[in-house]
Amino acid sequence: MPTVVIASNNKHKVSEIRQILDFDGWDFKTLAEMGLASDPDENAQTFEGNARIKAQAVRTLCPDCAVLADDSGLVVDALDGRPGVYSSRFAGEDATDAENNQLLLAELDGVAEQDRTARFVCTIVFYDEQGNEFVAEGSVEGIIGTEECGAGGFGYDPLFYPDVFGRTCSMAEVAPEDKNRVSHRGNALRALKKMMQ
């Protein structure tokens, strides 16, 4: 049974990956479960570049393991694509989700609803045990609300109203299985799964 190391220290991402990607016979392990520590400098200007940095860093530590890395973020049209690759540190290097959300709301203050279009983007870089690379991307379109709604999800979920739900509820207001069915990460992981079959 192949062991796949999930190259993330983000427990929310790890949970979503495990829920969505259910390859029979694959054993998904976190860095901590493998006794590994990896926190590389994510200095690429693209989601794919940052995902590759994370995957390669773990592959160096565990060269015989399959590795799955994800980089994702929020791309807001009215902010010229920001926060983008800086989504998790939009309000500063150690910013909380709440601080990032508050800064996003402040930057969009006065922007009309029709101009608050955005998308979540996720790029997955996967290395199999032989070192072959697979890259998959997913996205979900929507708008940024004017206040946080919902207690589920994480990150910008309370502010993001996806088109697929008619912009009537935030990602933080839907059940996890419904979110995973339409999310950027879910779409990227399903694209990866198709490549691997």
Is the Cβ–Cβ distance between 139 and 149 less than 8 Å? no
- Whole-Å CA distances, 85 to 46, 89, 148: 6, 9, 22
Residue 71 is a catalytic residue: yes
Cα–Cα distance measured from residue 2 to residue 12, given in angstroms and rounded to the nearest whole number = 23
Counts of helices then strands in the chain (DSSP H, E): 5, 6
Three-class DSSP category at 142: strand
Give the Cα separation of 102 and 147 in Å (integer): 9
Q: Which of 192, 157, 184, 181 is nearest to 6 (CA)?
A: 192
Set 22, 71, 80, 163: catalytic member: 71
Token code pair at residue 71? 């980089």
Query: What phi and psi, each to the nearest 5 degrees, are found at residue 166?
Result: 70, 20
Find where tokens 């995973």 sit. Answer: 180
Reduced to 3 states (helix: H, G, I; strand: E, B; else coil), residue 145 is coil
Active-site amino acid positions: 71
